[in-house]
Structure 1
Amino acid sequence: MGLGKLAVNDRKDGFTLDGRPWFWLADTCWGAFTSIELSDWEYYLARRAEQGINVLQINTLPQWDRCRPDLGIYPYASEDGTVFDWSAPNEAYWERAREMCRMAVEHGIRPALVLLWCNYIPGTWGSMIAQKLGAPVMPLDEIRSHIERVVRHLGEFDPVYVVTGDTDFKSDEAIRYYEEGLSAVCELAPNALRCMHINRANRTIPERFIDRLDFYMYQPGHNYEGQSEAWKLPEDFRASYPQKPLLNSEPCYEQMGASRNVYWRFTAQDCRASAWSGILSGAAAGLTYGAHGVWNWQTAQSKGSVLGEGFDMPFRWQECLQFPGVWDYGMVPHVLNSLTEGGLHAVVPAQELLDDAREAIRVARVGDRVVAYLPRTTALKLHGSFADMEAVAFDLEDKRVAHLPMRVDTQTGMTRVEQHPFGHDALVILKPAAH
């Protein structure tokens, strides 16, 4: 069973699958290959496919901040899952990863495989923490061998290759490692799509890499104070780099404690805010969901990890599959398909229409419509006369629709859309009035 040909569309703002518009809707399951029993994997895949997930973001190396204990199967010889003999690959791991990818493809889910997570690369923020705790980096001369192994074992499943994982580019040494990795994947898998997953709030990719990337990933991440990056990052990417598909690859994860042990848990509404504010700011190619207990695979026996940031205790993975936020994300491509008329129209940020200093309200034009995301209940004030339009609000929590009155001030040329009646976030859509 093949998944079809994934490509960048002609507008370079999204993807096509066998020539038809396609929306990246991923789940974050970084620790899958080291942590998940195959029987649990089958149930997880069936559930995520049911929820609309079509991509899984997976680390090909053991996730440094995964939940422990592991299953004890590692890609390279290791006694503890932290220190590896890079010259001694474990074929049992690679055969198991191959079977897991085969099962995912049977459910219509494409692997997006991270090749080089930051803790394995010297000169990155992650490696500085990991090395203090006794976790050495990968030698430079093993980079190509690792990527060859990934492509040889998993390339037949048409994966997307994510060259970097949660990385910065602050050292020449790190850039040299990633140059080795990117060059290798370009040579070994020239027809596969590739990108880089970069760390929270990072808006800097070395210029030498840009032409070899097919699309951009960004992440607002899990810092309580940094959630405005959901819209600021796409604004900056669009201003600074050649146009390519752009997607929010790591929004705040549902029920994750904020980083640095801040006393907070991100709700489904927080996740929706990250999603919709990014989409209406130009990141409309796709979206990644995350649940705190799936990305790191928490079980009843898990005792957590000594590495990584403090995120408060995860939920068991079975509980995570019941979180409501993934259903909200599953609705996103259906709403976008309706707004864009099946991909005919682009989502064009139009923040200049907003007469409000509250940047968290995001506005875009989609064909002949104006779409706004309101994280809280309030009136919407827009520059311009929209007298020939009608307004509806879509309740993103309870999936209700309200028809809203509008008033145009002929003296100022402003349009006021009265506040919607919902106690949750909503999309407000202005569309040509029906006749």
Structure 2
Amino acid sequence: MINKLFIIFAMFFTSAVYAGIPFTHGNLKVDGSGRYLEHDDGTPFLYMGDTAWEMLSRLTYEDACAYMDNRVGKGINVIQTVLLSELVGVRDTTAIGVPQLIDGDVRRPNPCYLAHVDSVLAYAERIGLYLAILPTWGDKVDKQWGNGPEIFDEHNAETYGKLLGNRWASRPNIIWIIGGDRGGDGKNRAIWNAMARGIKSVDKIHLMTYHPHGEHSSSMWFHNEDWLDFNMIQTGHCQGRYDIYRRMMLNDMSLRPVKPVMDGEPRYEDIPRNFKLEDGRFAAIDVRHTLYQSMLTGACGYTYGNNNLWQMYAPGREPKCNAQTYWYNAMDMEAECQLIHFVRLWNEIPFRGGTNIPCCATPTDEYASDEAVGFMTEDYMLCYFPGGNKWNMKIPDKFASCYTIEWMNPRTGQRIVKGKSGGCELDINLPEGGNNDWLLILKKEK
């Protein structure tokens, strides 16, 4: 599919750099606050995902390795993918020349296909990646759209789940995601619960969540289920303002018992807004809005998506959602190359001890496109400005005596130090106004 010399070089380079990366910090779990994820030894874990739904069915092993090599360099540590995919039928031939199931029977996954998944999992582990695996896309439970057919019921779903759990319970680099762009009501509820129950009956160590359809959350059906370790929302591909996080993420954060929450499918880079070409396409700034707005709201992680990559669009394949760039040419688009700037920030500032600050800043010019989002830890206050020129910012009392002022450009990661200030209000002039977004970092002086 892509240049074979590139694949060989990429695999050699990545092996040389990442060989022997151990998962030495232990399994993943929810931390003591109930808001974030960590390893067994207490090391914080930022779930920084990438959407590759069709990777296992549409890429060869070599192509999957080249793709994953590329993601590691961008700060991504989780690849979201599907065993029984939406776009390759269960009886159709996958990229490795075999179907996913034998005779379309969920009790008989094709051994060659499972061996392919084993190999991809092993390579992902070698370079330090988790695979967040959906056992099936939602059309196999509730067709609505996609290839289908509906092949699961409550009984075979549990059998299938147990089979998968048995096969991969000992692997260190798996996160389970039940669902697949579908709801959990009606007949679906019993099937999804049975699938989760089957996996958990033999796999006691891996985290599990649920992927809902657009503008819904796993909490709507499964928040109180023991198998749901953290909530996943899908803000989807139609909303363009912070309102969606106020409505969905803040709601999930108010639920009891407390569970972490993250946006597992925000607006994809290069997908048409509202799925309509006449409305334009979501660009890098739209992706950055979702990243910084969700994380400063209090999310435990974030998943990037690219309209060309989720489907692994390539010559001869129907372009879903108006895909326009082949997957191997879409791996270095603007927004995905900017994720690393947030990852470095997260590693610098102890997000796990922080809290969202509602209504921390208001524009004092004509800007009304979106709103600023604030976040505060013991020693830091962050505020993400989606655009505009002039803002007035409220400073919590604990910071008011004296604080350093620093700007971060989310497009480049560049820092601009502006000295020190004090007081309970701060009049803001963004370094570059208009449609440019900026992150303000205040550090309390001790």
After TM superposition, is the score higher than 0.5?
yes
Instruction: Give the counterpart letter for 2:354 in structure 1.
Output: V
Q: Residue 102 of structure 2 aligns with which residue?
A: 77
Query: Quick one: distance in 2 between partners of 1:42 and 1:207?
Result: 34
Give the direction of change, closer, same or farther, for the CA distance of 1:91–1:65 in structure 2 (3 Å limit).
Answer: closer
Q: Secondary structure at the match of 2:177?
A: strand
Q: Does 1:426 align with 2:438?
A: yes
Give the direction of change, closer, same or farther, for the CA distance of 1:192–1:199 in structure 2 (3 Å limit).
Answer: same
Query: Quick one: distance in 1 between partners of 2:318 and 2:432?
Result: 44
1:221 aligned residue (207, 228, 236): 236
CA contact (8 A) 2:106 2:151 kept: no
Task: Give the Å deviation of 1:433.
Answer: 4.7
2:327 aligned residue (317, 327, 334): 317
Q: Does 1:240 align with 2:250?
A: no
Deviations 1:377-435 (A, max 9, x none): 322312357352232221112333334589888xxx6432233235621101222358x
Task: Give the Å deviation of 1:262.
Answer: 4.1
Query: Quick one: distance in 2 between partners of 1:227 and 1:365?
Result: 18
Q: Residue 144 of structure 2 aligns with which residue?
A: 128
Q: Does 1:353 align with 2:360?
A: yes
1:370 aligned residue (364, 367, 381): 381
1:93 aligned residue (113, 119, 126): 113
Q: Residue 279 of structure 1 aligns with which residue?
A: 295
Q: Secondary structure at the match of 1:128?
A: coil
CA contact (8 A) 2:86 2:139 kept: no
Instruction: Give the counterpart letter for 1:190 in structure 2.
Output: K
Deviations 1:279-326 (A, max 9, x none): 11111x211112222211111232236xxxxx2124211111121222
1:156 aligned residue (152, 155, 170): 170
CA contact (8 A) 2:185 2:221 kept: no
What does 1:277-426 correspond to in 2, within 5 Å?
277-283=293-299, 285-304=300-319, 311-340=321-350, 346-355=353-362, 360-384=371-395, 386=400, 388-404=402-418, 414-421=425-432, 424-426=436-438
Structure 2: give runs of 5+ residues left out of the alignment: 1-19
CA contact (8 A) 1:374 1:427 kept: yes
Q: Does 1:184 align with 2:204?
A: no
Q: Residue 308 of structure 1 aligns with which residue?
A: none
CA contact (8 A) 1:347 1:365 kept: yes
Structure 1: give runs of 5+ residues left out of the alignment: 79-83, 306-310
Q: Does 1:37 align with 2:60?
A: yes
| Larger displacement relative to structure 2 (326-335 or 416-425) | 416-425
Query: Quick one: distance in 1 between partners of 2:306 and 2:88?
Result: 14
Q: Does 1:11 align with 2:21?
A: no
| Larger displacement relative to structure 2 (203-212 or 386-395) | 203-212
Q: How large is the Cα RMSD of the aligned pairs?
A: 2.8
Deviations 1:134-176 (A, max 9, x none): 63342332212221232233333231111222221232x1111
Give the direction of change, closer, same or farther, for the CA distance of 1:155–1:31 in structure 2 (3 Å limit).
Answer: farther
Q: Secondary structure at the match of 2:183?
A: coil
Give the direction of change, closer, same or farther, for the CA distance of 1:51–1:208 in structure 2 (3 Å limit).
Answer: closer
Provide the identity percentage.
18
Give the direction of change, closer, same or farther, for the CA distance of 1:368–1:43 in structure 2 (3 Å limit).
Answer: same
Task: Give the Å deviation of 1:208.
Answer: 6.7
What does 1:190-201 correspond to in 2, within 5 Å?
190-201=204-215
Task: Give the Å deviation of 1:269.
Answer: 1.4
| Larger displacement relative to structure 2 (323-332 or 270-279) | 323-332
Query: Structure 2 length as normaliser, TM-score?
Result: 0.83
Query: Quick one: distance in 2 between partners of 1:378 and 1:422?
Result: 4
Give the direction of change, closer, same or farther, for the CA distance of 1:53–1:93 in structure 2 (3 Å limit).
Answer: same
Q: Residue 81 of structure 1 aligns with which residue?
A: none
Q: Residue 175 of structure 1 aligns with which residue?
A: 189
CA contact (8 A) 1:30 1:59 kept: yes
Query: Quick one: distance in 2 between partners of 1:104 and 1:232?
Result: 35
Give the direction of change, closer, same or farther, for the CA distance of 1:242–1:87 in structure 2 (3 Å limit).
Answer: closer
Give the direction of change, closer, same or farther, for the CA distance of 1:212–1:149 in structure 2 (3 Å limit).
Answer: closer
Instruction: Give the counterpart letter for 1:426 in structure 2.
Output: W
| Larger displacement relative to structure 2 (259-268 or 214-223) | 259-268
2:48 aligned residue (13, 25, 30): 25
Q: Secondary structure at the match of 2:441?
A: strand
- Number of aligned residues: 409
Query: Quick one: distance in 1 between partners of 2:245 and 2:327?
Result: 26
Deviations 1:164-193 (A, max 9, x none): 22221232x111111212222221212211
Query: Structure 1 length as normaliser, TM-score?
Result: 0.85
Give the direction of change, closer, same or farther, for the CA distance of 1:237–1:262 in structure 2 (3 Å limit).
Answer: farther
Q: Residue 157 of structure 2 aligns with which residue?
A: 143
CA contact (8 A) 1:257 1:313 kept: no
Q: Residue 270 of structure 1 aligns with which residue?
A: 286
Give the direction of change, closer, same or farther, for the CA distance of 1:359–1:367 in structure 2 (3 Å limit).
Answer: farther
Instruction: Give the counterpart letter for 1:75 in structure 2.
Output: Q
Give the direction of change, closer, same or farther, for the CA distance of 1:75–1:153 in structure 2 (3 Å limit).
Answer: farther
Query: Quick one: distance in 2 between partners of 1:383 and 1:358?
Result: 20
